[in-house]
Amino acid sequence: MMTRFAKSEDGSTMVEMAIVSTLLFALTLGFVDFGYALYQWNAATKAVQYGARLASISDPIVTNLAAAAPTASPGAPIAAGAYGPFVCQYTGATGGCSNGGTFSATNFSRIFRGDTAVTNNDICPTITAVQRLTMRPGMCHFFPGLHRDDIVITYTATGLGYQTRLGGPVPTITVSLKNISYQFFFLGGLFGFGDMTMPSMLSTVTGEDLKVAYP
């Protein structure tokens, strides 16, 4: 009896299937999670690209930007490093700019939340198809789950423009994200796979005639 039991292969297929199914299940969910991570990467990239473009044609977050640029020699080039750099960001509920920059919560909100209901909060509003005809979306509409304290906007003097220019100084504007992590749902919940920090990404453009008007 024991010999026959030891040689029996009944149920072996079920055991093998259980082992293979576990591996296949983990592999399939891994593909789903890493596919979603790729989506997050692409969304974050589009958000900073759009945010930089929007910042280049919107009122600067640094409201004293024009006054910070030199004006003693009308028509003379503005040297690199003549003002700033002004690094503007939120820390919790408080926004500010470095190097004595005066922070505008309204102007920051316009870049983060778009033209709809520009208010000082961290909520991303819904924009209808009709509203998109006359209103610009914000960075949060390109990257769902983005918070305003994830965004860093920097205005730098890189030698562009001239003193007393009618449209104001011509800063180089960089929009970047900080403290963003890839979210792994299946791998994190089932296998304890920790979230991975997304590499810092940024987009840099040249400021134009900074204004609020819809382009």
Could you give the CA distance from residue 197 to residue 121 in angstroms, rounded to a whole number?
25
Contact between residue 113 and residue 105 where contact means Cβ atoms under 8 Å apart = no
Q: Residue 35: phi, psi to the nearest 5?
A: -65, -40
Could you list the beta-strand ranges (E) of the chain. Answer: 86-91, 94-97, 151-156, 172-177, 181-182, 196-197, 202-206
Note the pTM of the prediction, 2 decimals.
Answer: 0.81
The neighbour count for residue 197, using CB atoms within 10 Å, is 11
Q: Is it the case that residue 185 has pLDDT exceeding 80? A: no
Please give the average per-residue pLDDT across 103-127, as a whole number.
84
Q: Give the tokens for residue 43.
A: 């969304």
Residue showing tokens 């504007």: 173
Q: Is it the case that residue 214 has pLDDT exceeding 50? A: no
Instruction: Looking at mean pLDDT, say which of 124-133, 152-161, 186-195 comes out highest.
Output: 152-161
Q: Give the tokens for residue 210.
A: 């900074």
Cis peptide upstream of residue 85 (ω within 30 degrees of 0): yes
Q: Is the dihedral angle over the CA atoms 40, 45, 46, 47 positive or is it negative?
A: positive
Q: Give the tokens for residue 191.
A: 């296998």
Which amino acid does the sequence have at 120? N
39: CB partners within 8 A, 6+ apart? none
Q: What is the pLDDT of residues 125-140, one digit of tens each?
A: 888 877 777 888 999 9
Could you give the CA distance from residue 146 to residue 112 in angstroms, rounded to a whole number?
9
By the 10 Å C-beta count (0-12 exposed, 13-18 middle, 19+ buried), 149 is classed as middle
Confidence at residue 114, expressed as pLDDT on a 0 to 100 scale: 87
pLDDT band, residue 55 (cuts 50/70/90): very high
